[in-house]
């Protein structure tokens, strides 16, 4: 059942009645999804903190660190590390969005529900489980792993500095967490060729919304609550860049027409920045861009 925000976006986007629905969304974890989860080394999670800010964070580990012991439970055998904005959030139970993604195989699945810490583990009671298509996923393969003694440090600011702006400008992938009170939290993947995310100054980002699955879970949540969190990963060095702020969808067809492949544009105003050095021990090597990525006008 789609919530009000998703229905509003679907109507505005002109999605026909025949394409509405839950598109395979279920509360229980199918056996094939449980098997997929057990092989993943990368999870992106999202949640709203006690102050209302929304963040996306990263969990990585060996194969098998995430399991589904029963059809309504996911267990991650670790929780957000020190420095991650979500560290400590799940000391009390709250809504969670979770994305398990296999960049090498261009496969991903989303799990939304309620989560809490249990020792060093994160326990998730599932409410929505579904797979996504492989569009806009760039292939990457884990090539090495830092030793457990690697240090983690975090630096917090209110604006993006020049190095962070270059990082974002070169990115081909990021993740976005959204939340709607009483309706849950969601995390989704966004991908494109480098330069698909643009910056205006040190507190405004814009990205195109490409053709997707017409469910509009991200945009539907933003329709009800503009607060959201973005996550950029430095795949080669293991650093992460976490942003929280507010996003607004611009439905202007004239503005979208200037960006190849854009159905509409999303503007994001930065309110807080957390850069974590040594956020993950894993290192990935780049493979290839998705064939679905729209080409830039200057390419």
Average pLDDT over residues 55-81: 94
Asked whether residue 294 is assigned to any structural domain, the reply reads no
Average pLDDT over residues 229-241: 97
Q: State how many domains the chain has.
A: 1
Asked whether residue 290 is assigned to any structural domain, the reply reads no
∠ CA(275), CA(117), CA(31), 5° rounding?
A: 100
CA-to-CA distance for 186 and 284, rounded, in angstroms?
25
Asked whether residue 291 is assigned to any structural domain, the reply reads no
Average pLDDT over residues 245-253: 96
Residue with tokens 């990368």: 42
Asked whether residue 149 is assigned to any structural domain, the reply reads yes
Asked whether residue 299 is assigned to any structural domain, the reply reads no
Q: What's the mean per-residue pLDDT of the chain?
A: 93
pLDDT for 1 equals 54
Instruction: Look up the CATH number of the domain holding residue 115.
Output: 2.30.110.10
CA 278 to the chain's CA centroid: 19
Residue with tokens 């993947």: 189
pLDDT, tens only, 150-170: 788 999 999 999 999 999 999
How many Cα neighbours within 13 Å face the side chain of 204? 6
Cβ within 8 Å of residue 163, ≥6 positions away: none
Name the residue range of residue 18's domain: 4-285
Tokens of 99: 């994305």
Cβ within 8 Å of residue 251, ≥6 positions away: 12, 264
CA 31 to the chain's CA centroid: 24
Cβ within 8 Å of residue 262, ≥6 positions away: 208, 209, 210, 256, 294
CA-to-CA distance for 237 and 216, rounded, in angstroms?
32
Average pLDDT over residues 185-191: 97
Asked whether residue 35 is assigned to any structural domain, the reply reads yes
CA-to-CA distance for 49 and 54, rounded, in angstroms?
6
pLDDT for 213 equals 79
Tokens of 1: 């059942």
Q: Is the pLDDT of residue 188 over 90?
A: yes
CA 59 to the chain's CA centroid: 12
CA-to-CA distance for 259 and 238, rounded, in angstroms?
30
Asked whether residue 298 is assigned to any structural domain, the reply reads no
Asked whether residue 206 is assigned to any structural domain, the reply reads yes
């Amino acid at each position: 059942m789609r919530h009000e925000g998703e229905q509003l976006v679907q109507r505005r986007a002109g999605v026909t009645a025949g394409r509405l629905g839950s598109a395979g969304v279920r509360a229980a974890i199918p056996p094939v999804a449980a098997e997929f989860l057990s092989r993943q080394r990368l999870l992106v999670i999202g949640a709203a903190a006690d102050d209302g800010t929304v963040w996306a964070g990263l969990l990585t580990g060996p194969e098998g660190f995430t399991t589904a012991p029963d059809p309504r439970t996911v267990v991650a055998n670790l929780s957000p590390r020190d420095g991650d904005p979500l560290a400590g959030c799940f000391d009390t139970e709250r809504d969670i969005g979770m994305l398990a993604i296999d960049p090498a195989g261009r496969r991903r699945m989303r799990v939304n529900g309620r989560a809490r810490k249990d020792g060093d583990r994160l326990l998730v009671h599932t409410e929505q489980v579904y797979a996504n298509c492989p569009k806009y996923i760039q292939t990457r393969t884990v090539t090495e792993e830092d030793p457990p003694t690697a240090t983690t440090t975090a630096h917090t600011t209110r604006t993006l500095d020049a190095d962070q702006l270059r990082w974002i400008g070169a990115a081909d992938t990021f993740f976005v967490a959204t939340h709607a009170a009483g309706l849950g939290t969601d995390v989704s993947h966004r991908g494109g060729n480098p330069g698909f995310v643009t910056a205006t100054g040190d507190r405004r980002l814009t990205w195109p919304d490409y053709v997707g699955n017409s469910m509009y879970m991200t945009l539907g949540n933003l329709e009800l609550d503009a607060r959201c969190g973005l996550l950029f990963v430095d795949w080669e060095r293991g650093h992460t860049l976490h942003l929280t702020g507010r996003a607004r969808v611009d439905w202007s067809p004239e503005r979208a027409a200037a960006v190849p492949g854009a159905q509409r544009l999303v503007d994001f105003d930065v309110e807080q920045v957390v850069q974590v050095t040594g956020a993950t021990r894993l290192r990935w090597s780049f493979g290839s861009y998705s064939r679905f990525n729209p080409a830039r006008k200057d390419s």
